Amino acid sequence: MTAPTANRTNRTVAPGRRGSCLSFAALAVVSFGGLSCHWLENYHAANWDFKHEDYPYAIVRYQKFLEEYRDPTYKREIALINLGRSYMAMQAPRDAEKVFDQYEREFPKGSFLETARESVAKIRRTSDERQKQMASDIASAQNESERIQAELAARPNDADLLVALGHAHWKMGRYKTAGESYLKAIEINPKLRDNPLMLERLIFDMNGNLIPITNPQQRVALENERDPVVMEGLHEYTSRGVDDFFSSRRRFYTVTGTVRNRSTRPILSVRIEVTLFDALGQILEVGTADIGTLYPRDSRPFVVQSGLDAEAMGNIARYRCRPLFQQ
């Protein structure tokens, strides 16, 4: 997957390079660290991520760049095209289609117009083919279900037949009926309880009981209860200390975002932990931010700032951001 991108050797633009965006005189006036250049940092960082196939990071940074920089320039063209391609790589065709459509609206004579149109046509063609295949699969599964049920009339305690019947119902979208067939098969042959496919299509409730799901959304809801805290809109940047703007001692690596409780219960003692690693995987610094209690469906922004010296800042290869909370 290729597209014109800016060359970049590090994920995060070093603070000292911001001078390329502002004159030295302007730097002397804007003592808060050249925040107007953040859009350019996002652009270069997104291109670096895209080139190295780090598509989740590329998506976040391209989105941030597009929010901050709306001038109809070649940079915005590249950002839109690469954002759409990143969504394609992440198997999110609907999101990709929206981005490519946006590109055509904004740049009706753009350099990548043909690419955008071809991508949209491919997405829609794939969607049509998928719909036809699904209809064929459902019809085949219906015939298979009828055949298996006829055999079960003679062998009602055949666990393999019950599993096969569950598979047929699953293909037809009858998830609850499929789960009931799987559970009957497990009653006859308890070893099936550890079958990976059974574990995928049956779920354990909060009491540890294996139950059928009525629809795929039920699994999502249960997973939300088990893994309730999620982070969204992550963004990171570097800055200097307020009293250290023209020196090379203190640097700050800041990660911002939003933390959300997607469960139906309050989550206590929530905090965000950001760990900075060098290229060898060694920890350079760990920063935290206390959030406190997150009530159901509640979300809050957070900022985690880690202080390092200039040399350590240049060694940052990646960071890990994770939520911690009282279990």
Please give the full DSSP string across 184-250, using - where no structure is assigned: HHHHH-GGGGG-HHHHHHEEE-TTS-EEE-SSHHHHHHHHHHHS-EEEEEEEEEEEE-TT-TTSSSE
Which of 290-297's residues contact partners 24+ apart within 8 Å by CB, and which partners? 291/259, 293/266, 293/267, 293/268, 293/269, 294/229, 294/259, 294/260, 294/261, 294/266, 294/267, 294/270, 294/325, 295/261, 295/266, 296/261, 296/263, 296/264, 296/265, 296/266, 297/260, 297/261, 297/262
Contact 256, 306 (CB under 8 A): no
The domain total for the chain is: 3
Q: What pLDDT does residue 326 have?
A: 84
Domain boundary among 103, 125, 147: 125
The answer to whether residue 88 is domain-embedded is: yes
Q: What pLDDT does residue 19 have?
A: 39
Q: How far apart are CA 111 and CA 236, in angstroms?
A: 30
Query: Domain check: are 161 and 120 in the same one?
Result: no
Query: Domain check: are 64 and 121 in the same one?
Result: yes
Q: What pLDDT does residue 129 have?
A: 87
User: What is the domain range of residue 165?
Assistant: 155-225
Q: What pLDDT does residue 162 have?
A: 94
- What percent of the chain is helix, strand and coil (3-state, nearest 5)? 50, 20, 25
With 0-12 CB in 10 A as exposed, 13-18 as middle and 19+ as buried, what is 245? Answer: middle
Query: Domain check: are 202 and 243 in the same one?
Result: no
Would you give per-residue pLDDT tens digits along the chain (327 residues)?
444 444 333 333 333 333 334 333 333 333 334 444 667 888 988 899 899 888 888 888 898 899 888 889 999 999 999 999 999 988 888 889 999 999 999 999 999 999 999 999 999 998 888 888 888 888 998 999 999 999 999 999 999 999 999 989 988 888 888 888 988 998 999 888 888 877 777 776 656 566 666 666 666 776 777 788 999 888 888 876 555 444 456 678 889 888 999 888 888 899 999 999 988 989 989 999 999 888 888 888 888 988 888 778 888 889 999 999 987
Q: What pLDDT does residue 211 have?
A: 65
Query: Domain check: are 165 and 214 in the same one?
Result: yes
Q: What pLDDT does residue 323 have?
A: 94
Domain boundary among 209, 225, 241: 225
Q: What pLDDT does residue 195 have?
A: 83
Query: Domain check: are 316 and 235 in the same one?
Result: yes
* CATH code, domain carrying 252: 2.60.40.10
3 state SS of 273: strand
Q: What pLDDT does residue 27 have?
A: 33
Q: What pLDDT does residue 25 have?
A: 37
Q: How far apart are CA 29 and CA 325, in angstroms?
A: 43
For residue 196, give both structure tokens: 């990976």
In terms of pTM, does the model score above 0.85? no
Q: What pLDDT does residue 214 have?
A: 64
Query: Domain check: are 219 and 297 in the same one?
Result: no
Domain boundary among 176, 192, 225: 225
Query: Domain check: are 206 and 120 in the same one?
Result: no
Contact 227, 263 (CB under 8 A): no
